[in-house]
Amino acid sequence: MELLGPLVNGAGIILGTLIGLFFSRIPERFKETVMSGIGLTVILIGLSMSMTSDRMVVILLSLLTGAIIGELFDLDEKLNRLGAYIEAKMKGSSQSDSRIAEGFVTASLIFVIGALAVVGALDSGLRGDHEVLFTKALIDGFVALVLTTTLGIGVIFSAIPVLLYEGGIALFATQIDRFISESFLDLFIEDMTSTGGLLIVAIGLNLIKITNIRVANLLPSLITVGIILYIYVQLQGLF
């Protein structure tokens, strides 16, 4: 079952959020310090991921082309509108004063961007091995718990884009060997990990309020990195 891993990952986020609701009444100053800790940890994770590839030209061009596409379609605004729509639908609940939209957007970006999401989904689709996504479910569940204490119930809705993203990759992976060689796939994972790592650094900087980077507008770089890498490989004659 190719979708078992993505389903468990989504369930982990939901469970972590529900548990986190029990700790949401902690004092505001505790929440601020916890959020700073999360931001610093996210930056550390992103920096370690960004060092995966040494093809800096590919990473730079991927970010540039991804940013242009993202700005043309204004993905950040659309994602925030979706979060605001969800928040408006919950106005009558006891969580109406919580930062539902912010929780949804922030959690979605953290859980979707990263090597574990792609590698785990590929393993689920290619080999029927869900171990990576099971591990990611535990990690995401804990992160969802902590995020919920500061951002509220909105975090739970991030399970939807995670399921769609990982599920789509897993289903595509069942046919990927027809189009992409294993050697190219390895290079792609390296460059995608580095690109995603830089986006995660941006999320961390936003969390500790140093910057206000429109990270969602950089998301197309996770797709353009494959195109740029293919051109780079052809020019270099690697395969």
Distance CA 132, CA 161 (A): 18
Locate the domains of the chain by residue range.
4-236
Residues of the chain above pLDDT 90, percent: 57
> What's the whole-number mean pLDDT along residues 39-55?
90
Summarize pLDDT for 149-176 with one digit per residue, the tens. 888 899 999 999 999 999 999 999 888 8
pLDDT of residue 93: 52
Which one has a higher pLDDT value, 235 or 92? 235
The answer to whether residue 220 scores a pLDDT higher than 70 is: yes
- This prediction's pTM: 0.84
> What's the whole-number mean pLDDT along residues 218-236?
93
Location of structure tokens 């540039």: 64
Find the largest Cα–Cα distance for the chain.
Answer: 60
Q: How far is CA 83 from the centre of its chain?
A: 16
pLDDT of residue 60: 97
Distance CA 170, CA 105 (A): 23
> What's the whole-number mean pLDDT along residues 201-226?
93
Distance CA 197, CA 43 (A): 9
Phi-psi map region of 27: left, alpha, beta (phi>0 left; psi -120 to 50 alpha)? beta
